[in-house]
Amino acid sequence: MTAAVKVAVIGTGLVGSGWAVVFARAGCDVALYDSVPGAAERGREVVAQQLRDLAAHGLIAEAPEAVLGRVSVARDLADALSGAAYAQESTFERLDVKREVFSAIDAAIGPDTLVGSSSSGIPASAYTDHVACRSRCLVAHPVNPPSLAPVVELVPAPWTAPETVRSVRALMEQVGQSPVEMTREIEGFILNRLQGVLLMEAWRLVEEGYATAEDVDRTVKDGLGLRWAFMGPFETIDLNAPGGVADYARRLGPLYRSIAASTAEHKVWDDAVIGTVEAQRRAVLPADGLAERRAWRDRRLMALAAHKKDAEA
C-alpha cells in the first residue's frame, strides 16, 4: 500500500484554499498553515464550501466530506512541512513578505521537500537568493481558483534544479492541473504579460474615446474570447488561414505590423482613464453589487469547467 503524498499549503487565503482543494481532490493529504492565528481554520471552511460547490457541478468524484477529511490544520510551519513532498506558498504578493516566508520555510524544511510560490508576477530569484533550499524553489503560479482554471506557470529561478521543475511538473499533472514551463524568468510570466498588453490597448481605446469599456468587454466575451477558452492564440490563427499559421502571418502581417506601429507610444495605467473606466463600470455595476457578481462569476466558471470536461470527454 502506498501512502498518500503530503502537500503543505502555506498561506491559506483564497489562493491557498483553492490549492488545498486541488491537492485534496486528487488524493493528497494537505496540511494548512498560516502565520495569522485562526486563518488556517477559516481557510479550511473555505475549502469545505468550495468542495460542496464542486460536488454540485459534478466536478469531484467523492463526497465533499471525504475530500475534506484529507485537509488538516497544522500546529505550526514545521508541522506543516514535516514529511511533505511539496509545499505551495500562497502568501501576500509583496517582496518583503515573500522573502520573510522563504526564510521561515528554509529554517523548517526537510531535505526532500520542494517549494512552489503562487507569485503572480515576481520571479522567485527576488526572494529565494538567500535560502539554503533555493535549488528546490520555483514559481508555480495558478489562476484563481485553481480548482476551475487548471493552468499553472512553472518558472525556475537561475538556481532552481532541473529536477525540481521535472518533479513539480509531474506532481501538477498527477493532480490534474495543466502545467506550462518557462525556460527562464521574466516579470509577469506568460499569463500576466499577455493580460497586460491586452489591457494596455483596452485602456487606450477607452482613453481616446474610440469605444466604451462595456463595448470593449463585449468584443471579447462575444467574439475574441470564445476560441481562447478552448484553443490558444497560436492554434486560433493556425486554423484561421488555409495554409496554417505561416500563411496567416503572411496574410495578416501587414495589418498587425501597422497596428503595432500605432501602439508604440501611448500612456498606460493613467489615472484619468482608470477613473473613466471605474465610472463606467460603477454605472453598470454599483460597488455594493461586486460581491454578488463575483459569486455569479464563480458559478459561470464552474459551469464552464463542467462544459469543458464534457466537451473534452
Binding to a copy of itself in span 33-62, by CB under 8 A: none
- Collapsing DSSP to helix, strand or coil, 273 comes out as helix
- Does residue 307 bind a copy of itself (CB under 8 A)? yes
| Residue 282 beta carbon to a copy of itself: minimum distance, rounded to whole angstroms | 7
Pairing state of beta strands 137-142 and 151-156? Answer: antiparallel
> Between residue 241 and residue 270, which ones bind a copy of itself under the rule CB under 8 A?
242-246, 249, 253, 255-260, 262-264, 268-269
Site string for a copy of itself, 132-171 (x = CB under 8 A): -----------x----xxxx-x------------------
- Does residue 210 bind a copy of itself (CB under 8 A)? yes
Q: Exposure string (b/e) for 145-182, b if CB count within 10 Å is 16 or more?
A: bbbbbbebbbbbbebbeeebbebbbebbeebebebbeb
Rounded to whole angstroms, how far apart are CA atoms 138 and 141?
A: 9
Which CB sits closer to a copy of itself, 115 or 148?
148
* Stretch of 27-35, 110-118, 131-139, 281-289 contacting a copy of itself, by CB under 8 A: 281-289
- Does residue 230 bind a copy of itself (CB under 8 A)? yes
- Does residue 186 bind a copy of itself (CB under 8 A)? yes
Which of 224, 283, 309, 313 is in the footprint of a copy of itself by CB under 8 A? Answer: 224
Which residues share a beta bridge with 115? 87, 137
- Collapsing DSSP to helix, strand or coil, 262 comes out as helix
Which of 63, 95, 170, 229 is in the footprint of a copy of itself by CB under 8 A? Answer: 229
| Residue 179 beta carbon to a copy of itself: minimum distance, rounded to whole angstroms | 8
Write the burial class of residue 254 (CB in 10 Å: 0-12 exposed, 13-18 middle, 19+ buried): exposed
Rounded to whole angstroms, how far apart are CA atoms 114 and 266?
A: 43
| Residue 91 beta carbon to a copy of itself: minimum distance, rounded to whole angstroms | 15
- Does residue 287 bind a copy of itself (CB under 8 A)? yes
Residues 74 and 41 sit within 8 Å (Cβ to Cβ): no
Which CB sits closer to a copy of itself, 1 or 288?
288
Write the burial class of residue 229 (CB in 10 Å: 0-12 exposed, 13-18 middle, 19+ buried): exposed
* Stretch of 19-27, 54-62, 81-89, 226-234 contacting a copy of itself, by CB under 8 A: 226-234
Q: Position 92: which residue type? A: F
- Does residue 219 bind a copy of itself (CB under 8 A)? yes
